[in-house]
Structure 1
Amino acid sequence: MSHMMQPSIILLKDGTDTSQGVGQLLSNIDACYAIVDVIKTTLGPRGMDKLIHDGRRATISNDGATILKLLDVVHPAAKLLVDIAKSQDSEVGDGTTTTTILAGEFLKEAKQFIQEGVHPQLIIKAYREALRIALKRLEEIAVQIDKTDNNKTRDLLRKIARTSLSSKLIGGIESDHFSEMVVDSVLSLDDDLDIDLIGVKQVPGGSMQESFLVKGVAFKKSFSYAGFEQQPKKFISPKIITLNIELELKAEKDNAEIKLNNPEQYQSIVDAEWKIIYDKLEKIVASGAKIVLSKKAIGDLATQYFADRGLFCAGRVAEDDLLRVTKATGSKILTTVSKVNDSDLGVCGLFEERQVGNERFNIFTECAHSKTATVVLRGGAEQFIAEAERSLHDAIMVVRRTLKNTSIVAGGGAVEMDISAHLKSHARSIKGKSQLIILAFAKALEIIPRQLSENAGFDATNILNKLRKKHQDKDGVWYGVDMKTEDVADNFNNFVWEPSLIKRNALVSSIEAATLVLSVDETVKNPESEQNQHDQQRQQQMMGGMGNMR
């Protein structure tokens, strides 16, 4: 009796692309490694920068998270690495390149096992075990810092900021100048260390050395109205009022619709309008405030009124700048001036409007409540200043983290080499396949000192051999790559310091990414979403065509 052929079951709609099995896993690993290939040359003090041009503007950066954001990666597995870099950036602020490179290297090491037929779950299990041992070792070797001595703490923070800046564009001659600025800005914050209260303003022109820190608030002069030039530009110990009110005549007529029977009634309405605004202005002047700041517009009438009475005003102040002013001066943002108490006003030691490059800046300093700081960056090209801002963000985040978590480790590949040596000796006590996988994990960690050496043009094999020897001896814990002498050195004594939290987060995130990629054995591409995108593009093209016809 002949068996009838079973009809094939169609489960997914036509056009669905499915790829599965070992081939799919290997192609995902290759895609992730392609990203690492792009980013690995940016690691360390001698790392190169990437220029990414999106058709409108060019960005030059060596910050891992920034590069990955701008690359617009479409491969679904490779997107995981982008997300990991973003999470490292938001969580710790620095170490994004390290995290991405480690994740790629863990996957590369896993690839050979998969090709030999080892089940991915075995690799994942062994990797997680290796991570547990690595984190335990990291805790053992991390050095706790003493925060009781302010001068020592300050010195330590400066060294950590300098290590973070060393791999950036501004890490050369200006690193001392900027690391000082970074530490000052973070130490001027409240105990909760809210980074949003550190403003960074970019002013093209001048040299990088002309960048300065304001221990208070600085923001660009916004739109200026008639009468602005007559206002005083400098005050000593002025009271400050911060508003969220529009001080313009048109404000009232926008809010009402009135039908009149008699044209003479119109004048009384106009008079009422003037009375309303003059009432507001009188109350502001009567409050004793000398500086009036508002989130909304302050029109010609109000500007001239304040100028005649020796007050300074600025309208359309950005929300974050206004928030910094309230933090620094102790003022409150008011939505009505019907009753202004003295406690609602802020105060600062000195206010002045100053020329910085081509811009006029309003600068508040010597603030009693000063819980905020502003860095004003100068420099030639806009791209250069933008990269300087990203570099400062990394350094600020690192200093902030160090203040919150007080343990540090040496950089320059020292930690990775030590954990690698520790894992190698530990692996000897394990039987079975997991021994080989943990050894592969240990080997993957060596990519950091190797890449640092390669990016600097050193002989990586020679340096790694020296490091392996040093880390086998128990007294060489902090030996890493020395960029100055093209050799190995005790990086703890050389003050190449980083918060241990960065390393911890980098290890955890990279293993998370690697195990996630290894646990995927099938990708299903749904055609519907692609069709929708195609339709949207068609629609946009048609709309564009119609616009041209007009």
Structure 2
Amino acid sequence: MLPLPPAIEKVKELAVSIEGKSVEEKKGLLAKCAATTLSSKLIGGEKEFFATMVVDAVMAIGDDDRLNLIGIKKVPGGNMRDSFLVDGVAFKKTFSYAGFEQQPKKFLNPKILLLNIELELKSEKENAEIRLSDPSQYQSIVDAEWNIIYDKLDKCVESGAKVVLSRLAIGDLATQYFADRDIFCAGRVAEEDLNRVAAAAGGTVQTSVNNIIPEVLGTCEIFEEKQVGGERFNIFSGCPSGRTATIVLRGGADQFIEEAERSLHDAIMIVRRAVKNSTVVPGGGAIDMEISKYLRQHSRTIAGKSQLFINSYAKALEVIPRQLCDNAGFDATDVLNKLRQKHAMQSGEGASYGVDINTGGIADSFANFVWEPAVVKINAINAATEAACLILSVDETVKNPKSESAQGDAAAGAMGRGRGGGRGRGMRRR
């Protein structure tokens, strides 16, 4: 196995694990990570409120780290604190036909049937040709069409389901049919929402109503249709698998809600990464300054031009705290001098000190819960190093010795061929 690069080795040495703690303590630490991410965002004023929501959402999906299991729904109106988390699935009420008002809007422990078929009365006019010799035969065709749709609806009712969802249309006939039997239905449900209901409720999406067995039906503790702002939402909560969550975002303007969604996405990604790789490092430029100091010391043990490269690498890492100072409106030179002095302490007490954007000075980032996952920092360093090496190799500033020897051999061969058959032409060129 190849040895780790010095910068990566130092990050792993400084990383602190948050494993082995109680669930509540771990959630508190993860909330601090999320709050750090949200500090610089538009919703930074309510970072504690949203950080707790993000952690609960990520913990709800457990080991399944698929991002699409966490839904974010946006509802204009109200203020940020009207936002809420659904421990399950929530989506906006779909287009509905007459008779929908008569359907029940709340169930306790209902069976849920998920379909990917149309429940609509349709004439067989596509790809079908029927020739009649007697006009009275037309009525039998019409009756057959009605029998087909009624057969489908009967089988849905016989399954025992109280909530019927379909990715395709559920027409006015089916809507009224279900309403008469105290069954809730919703057609044209988005595929993403339907799959999340299947994952949460434990059901399976069916492409046929034939042979519907109890194992393909899902369930939840409470299903209800609620008013959220100016929209009606179908909410499935208390699902048995507990592998989904939905954040319903509220806000004054569409642009604000869109920005809030992007901010929450960043926080969710950081928390997911911290859960999966439970080691963190101090943020605020602290880890960058410590690696920079370590590389400067490491370069003094190396002779030759490589010492210059490592020094330049160390200097480049100071861009992170410098940019933090510039963004916060503070004197970057003054803050960086303080950080260099603190990190140069032989006792190692200053290793976790970074930029304090609240005061314009420096502070212990780890003690202030300004953290970031170690794997994020390692990936960033690896990606930046590979990008720099690629640019240098394209510019031929750094050459592969093997490539140089191969080019030399090729040049020698060409000269040998020139001395043979093409000597006369070679002389004329010179």
- Verify same fold: TM over 0.5: yes
Seq. identity, %: 63
Instruction: Report the Cα offset of residue 192 of structure 1.
Output: 2.4
Report the equivalent of 2:16. 143
Distance (whole Å) between structure 2 residues aligned to residue 260 and residue 386 of structure 1: 58
Distance (whole Å) between structure 2 residues aligned to residue 251 and residue 500 of structure 1: 61
Distance (whole Å) between structure 1 residues aligned to residue 325 and residue 163 of structure 2: 55
Distance (whole Å) between structure 2 residues aligned to residue 282 and residue 212 of structure 1: 38
Aligned CA distance change for structure 1 residues 245 and 255 (closer, same or farther; 3 Å): farther
Counterpart secondary structure, 1:513: helix
Instruction: Report the Cα offset of residue 148 of structure 1.
Output: 4.3
Question: Which letter maps to 2:344?
Answer: Q
Report the equivalent of 1:51. none
Distance (whole Å) between structure 1 residues aligned to residue 197 and residue 72 of structure 2: 14
- 2:365 paired with 1:491: yes
Aligned CA distance change for structure 1 residues 253 and 277 (closer, same or farther; 3 Å): farther
Contact 1:130 1:423 in 2 (8 A): no
Distance (whole Å) between structure 1 residues aligned to residue 92 and residue 245 of structure 2: 15
Question: Aligned ranges for residues 456-535 of structure 1 at < 5 Å?
Answer: 456-473=328-345, 474-521=348-395
Specify which of 67, 71, 76 is matched with residue 195 of structure 1: 67
Instruction: Report the Cα offset of residue 187 of structure 1.
Output: 0.6
Contact 1:479 1:488 in 2 (8 A): yes
Question: Which letter maps to 2:387?
Answer: A
Report the equivalent of 1:442. 314
Contact 2:285 2:321 in 1 (8 A): yes
Distance (whole Å) between structure 1 residues aligned to residue 190 and residue 127 of structure 2: 24
Q: Over residues 426-483 of structure 1, what are the superposed CA-to-partner deviations in whole Å (9 max), with x where a residue is unaligned?
A: 1111111111111111011001111101111111111100000111112211000012
Question: Which letter maps to 2:252?
Answer: G
Distance (whole Å) between structure 2 residues aligned to residue 423 and residue 287 of structure 1: 68
Instruction: Report the Cα offset of residue 518 of structure 1.
Output: 2.1
Q: Over residues 144-189 of structure 1, what are the superposed CA-to-partner deviations in whole Å (9 max), with x where a residue is unaligned?
A: 22234211111111111111111211122x1011101100001111
Distance (whole Å) between structure 1 residues aligned to residue 124 and residue 237 of structure 2: 36
Contact 2:64 2:243 in 1 (8 A): no
Worse-matched range after superposition: 471-480 or 253-262: 253-262
Specify which of 350, 365, 377 is matched with residue 237 of structure 2: 365
Distance (whole Å) between structure 1 residues aligned to residue 124 and residue 378 of structure 2: 58
Q: Over residues 56-108 of structure 1, what are the superposed CA-to-partner deviations in whole Å (9 max), with x where a residue is unaligned?
A: xxxxxxxxxxxxxxxxxxxxxxxxxxxxxxxxxxxxxxxxxxxxxxxxxxxxx
Specify which of 95, 104, 107 is matched with residue 232 of structure 1: 104
Q: Over residues 372-418 of structure 1, what are the superposed CA-to-partner deviations in whole Å (9 max), with x where a residue is unaligned?
A: 00011111221211111111111111111111111100100000000
Specify which of 149, 153, 178 is matched with residue 277 of structure 1: 149
Report the equivalent of 2:6. 133
Specify which of 302, 311, 321 is matched with residue 430 of structure 1: 302
Contact 1:207 1:379 in 2 (8 A): yes
Counterpart secondary structure, 2:132: coil
Contact 2:115 2:164 in 1 (8 A): yes
Aligned CA distance change for structure 1 residues 328 and 307 (closer, same or farther; 3 Å): same
The runs of 5 or more residues in structure 2 that have no matched partner are: 397-430
Report the equivalent of 1:245. 117
Q: Max radius of gyration: which structure?
A: 2
Report the equivalent of 1:78. none
Distance (whole Å) between structure 2 residues aligned to residue 477 and residue 451 of structure 1: 19
Instruction: Report the Cα offset of residue 361 of structure 1.
Output: 0.6
Task: Name the TM-score, length of structure 1 as normaliser.
Answer: 0.70
Distance (whole Å) between structure 2 residues aligned to residue 299 and residue 492 of structure 1: 59
Q: Which has the higher contact order (CA 8 A, sep 6+)?
A: 1
Distance (whole Å) between structure 1 residues aligned to residue 339 and residue 256 of structure 2: 35
Distance (whole Å) between structure 2 residues aligned to residue 235 and residue 170 of structure 1: 35
Distance (whole Å) between structure 2 residues aligned to residue 255 and residue 170 of structure 1: 55
Report the equivalent of 1:405. 277
Aligned CA distance change for structure 1 residues 251 and 239 (closer, same or farther; 3 Å): farther
Instruction: Report the Cα offset of residue 302 of structure 1.
Output: 0.2
Distance (whole Å) between structure 2 residues aligned to residue 253 and residue 244 of structure 1: 21
Contact 1:220 1:361 in 2 (8 A): yes
Distance (whole Å) between structure 2 residues aligned to residue 477 and residue 198 of structure 1: 36
Report the equivalent of 1:321. 193
Aligned CA distance change for structure 1 residues 147 and 196 (closer, same or farther; 3 Å): farther
- 2:25 paired with 1:156: no
- 2:254 paired with 1:382: yes
Contact 2:123 2:145 in 1 (8 A): no
Q: Over residues 362-381 of structure 1, what are the superposed CA-to-partner deviations in whole Å (9 max), with x where a residue is unaligned?
A: 00111122210001111122
How large is the RMSD of aligned CA atoms in angstroms? 1.6
Q: Over residues 484-542 of structure 1, what are the superposed CA-to-partner deviations in whole Å (9 max), with x where a residue is unaligned?
A: 222111110011011111111111111122222222239xxxxxxxxxxxxxxxxxxxx
Aligned residues: 393
Question: Which letter maps to 2:339?
Answer: L
Report the equivalent of 2:184. 312
Contact 2:111 2:160 in 1 (8 A): yes
Question: Which letter maps to 1:250?
Answer: K
Report the equivalent of 1:177. 49
Question: Which letter maps to 1:318?
Answer: A
Report the equivalent of 2:427. none
Counterpart secondary structure, 2:100: coil
Report the equivalent of 2:403. none
Counterpart secondary structure, 1:217: strand
Question: Aligned ranges for residues 348-363 of structure 1 at < 5 Å?
Answer: 348-363=220-235
Instruction: Report the Cα offset of residue 222 of structure 1.
Output: 1.1
